Homo-oligomer: A and B are copies of this chain.
Amino acid sequence: MDNIYISVIESLIFSSDEPISPSEVIRAIQEIDGEDISITKEDIEKTVDELNEKYTAGERSFQILRLANGFTHATRPEYAKYVGYLSSVKSKRRLSHAALETLAIIAYKQPITKPEIEQIRGVNSDYMLNTLLEKNLVTIKGRADTVGRPLLYVTTDEFLKYFGLNKIEDLPKPREIDEIMQDEDFIEQKRKIMMNEIEEIIENETGEADNRGSENTSGKDEA
């Protein structure tokens, strides 16, 4: 094998969603450049070794690993603490779906107690509430007058800032959300079908039997 494929192989390993096997690499190359491209699993193995040598020589911070099911890039272990720090920061930063749900309930129902939140969500919400408190997106404001006098949760100024709102009344109204979220897919569908029908009728009327026939109008042209 000419090593013209070294970069192609690298790009395939780099971008594959999961470790990629030598045979998949070969298939991708042959699919694009032709079945007659002669390239073996050994060639792939050798290329990977060559790439790893280049990485070492060039002091790259990553390498190609051989995992059970194929090849994949991975950062070298000596950078594990930086990589680990980054991933922990990211996982903490992302408001999880559950936290967002809790936040939404509080935002729209405030002031609200924990039992009320849990009634809506159907699950214990201690952890989520604490996460939101920690991120200063909600805070405690007094107590409800109901049995047990549970704490009342409200959103904070930080919450407003985070979502670009001046005041809590600026939250999108449920009605507004419905308006945007309504399922208009079928309207769109209907419109397209309608357009096709019109065209057919016109074409029949003008008696022009062009080769498009009953095909539709819409840009299938390029297919």
A151 within 8 A of B: yes
A181 cross-chain contacts in B, Cβ below 8 A: 130
Q: Secondary structure at chain A's binding surface: helix, strand, loop or mixed?
A: helix
Q: Are A151 and B172 in contact (CB under 8 A)?
A: yes
The closest CB in chain B to the CB of A149 belongs to B170
Q: Are B187 and A85 in contact (CB under 8 A)?
A: no
Q: Are B170 and A142 in contact (CB under 8 A)?
A: yes
Of A26-34, A38-46, A100-108, the segment with at least 4 beta carbons within 8 Å of chain B is A26-34
> In whole angstroms, what is the CA distance A142 to B172 when docked?
8
Q: Give min CB distance, A204 to chain B, whole Å.
A: 7
Q: Are B180 and A126 in contact (CB under 8 A)?
A: yes
A187 cross-chain contacts in B, Cβ below 8 A: 127
A136 within 8 A of B: no
Q: How many copies of this chain does one complex carry?
A: 2
Q: Write the residues of chain A forming the contact surface with B, with a CB cutoff of 8 angstroms.
A: 6-8, 10-12, 14-17, 20, 24, 27-29, 31-32, 54, 58-62, 73, 75-76, 79, 81-83, 85-87, 89-90, 114, 126-127, 129-130, 133, 140-143, 149, 151-152, 163-166, 170, 172, 176, 179-182, 184-185, 187-188, 192, 197, 200-201, 204, 206-207, 213-223
Q: Give min CB distance, A157 to chain B, whole Å.
A: 13
Query: Given A8-B61, A170-B143, A187-B127: A14 and B222 within 8 A (CB)?
Result: no
Q: Are A32 and B219 in contact (CB under 8 A)?
A: no
Q: Are A207 and B11 in contact (CB under 8 A)?
A: no
Q: Are A75 and B11 in contact (CB under 8 A)?
A: yes
Q: Are B12 and A83 in contact (CB under 8 A)?
A: yes
Apart from A10-B60, A213-B219, 20 more pairs, CB < 8 Å: A11-B61, A12-B79, A14-B75, A15-B79, A16-B90, A20-B86, A29-B82, A54-B58, A130-B180, A130-B181, A142-B165, A142-B170, A151-B176, A152-B164, A197-B222, A213-B218, A214-B219, A218-B219, A218-B221, A219-B219
Partner of A31, one of B12, B85, B180: B85
A-B contact pairs, 7 of them (CB 8 A): A10-B62, A15-B86, A29-B82, A142-B164, A143-B166, A149-B170, A151-B176
